[in-house]
Amino acid sequence: MRLIPVAATAAIVLAPSLTVSAPTAHGASCPDAEVIFARGTDEPPGLGRVGTALVASLREQTGKNIGAYGVDYPADEDFLAATAGANDASDHVQEMAAACPETRLVLGGYSQGAAVIDIVTAAPVPGLGFRDPLPARAAQHVVAVTLFGNPSGRAGRLMTVLSPHFAGKILNLCHPGDPICSNGDQWKAHTSYVPGMTTQAASFVAVRI
């Protein structure tokens, strides 16, 4: 993962309108809950290390049928492309809400992926590539949001404040010293969310599903 320009991250959310089509929802096979997770910069497609650990811990803690969906976006050095992930995550939430209305949905993200989920939960209108804001009726299906190493932490948690539909549902986790989410200078802190904080986040989610 590389340092994410905080100003650029905030601009993604605040600037006033491209959607990547979301994959088909689960159809008849609906899990008890599903974690929709955006990986960090330079991680291969999928959930990433943090998302994988979160899902594993949640399954262990609940014994429930927990589905998992890795948000489809580049996760590369072009941080403005995070809007592609936000579009994909928003589309997927809406498809799951329609196809599996009893499934409890969990949003999550690590590092740049946390910025992706910030956009989904905070941006009420299209802007700067984000064209598919999450309708309130779909947002109601999201029972928890867990963010790790969130770059908006360096902007005073600006994006969390802008999340009217997610009050009480968001857990922002930042390791002391993590330069991405705080004024720290310990890069190792940014890569140390597993297993301690992923277990903590799973406990936060478990009581909500």
Task: Centre a 10 Å sphere on the Cβ of residue 125 and count the other Cβ atoms it contains.
Answer: 9
In whole angstroms, give the CA distance from residue 165 to residue 168: 9
- Is 118 an annotated catalytic residue? no
Q: Of 90, 111, 152, 182, which one is the catalytic site residue?
A: 111
Domain boundaries in the chain? 29-206
- Is 178 an annotated catalytic residue? yes
Strand partners of residue 36: 69, 107
Q: Of 72, 91, 178, 182, which one is the catalytic site residue?
A: 178
* CATH node for 29-206: 3.40.50.1820
Task: Centre a 10 Å sphere on the Cβ of residue 183 and count the other Cβ atoms it contains.
Answer: 9
How large is the C-alpha radius of gyration of the chain? 15
How is residue 152 annotated by DSSP?
G
In whole angstroms, give the CA distance from residue 43 to residue 81: 15
Q: Of 92, 141, 175, 190, which one is the catalytic site residue?
A: 190
Contact 35, 67 (CB under 8 A): yes
In whole angstroms, give the CA distance from residue 198 to residue 133: 27
Entry pTM:
0.84
The closest of 34, 36, 60, 67 to 147, measured between CA atoms, is 36
- Is 190 an annotated catalytic residue? yes
pLDDT per position in the chain (209 positions), as tens? 444 443 344 333 333 333 333 334 444 589 999 999 999 999 999 999 999 999 999 999 999 999 999 999 999 988 888 899 999 999 999 999 999 999 999 999 999 999 999 999 987 677 778 888 899 999 999 999 999 999 986 655 545 555 678 888 999 999 989 999 998 999 999 999 999 999 999 999 999 99
90, containing H or E segment:
helix 82-99
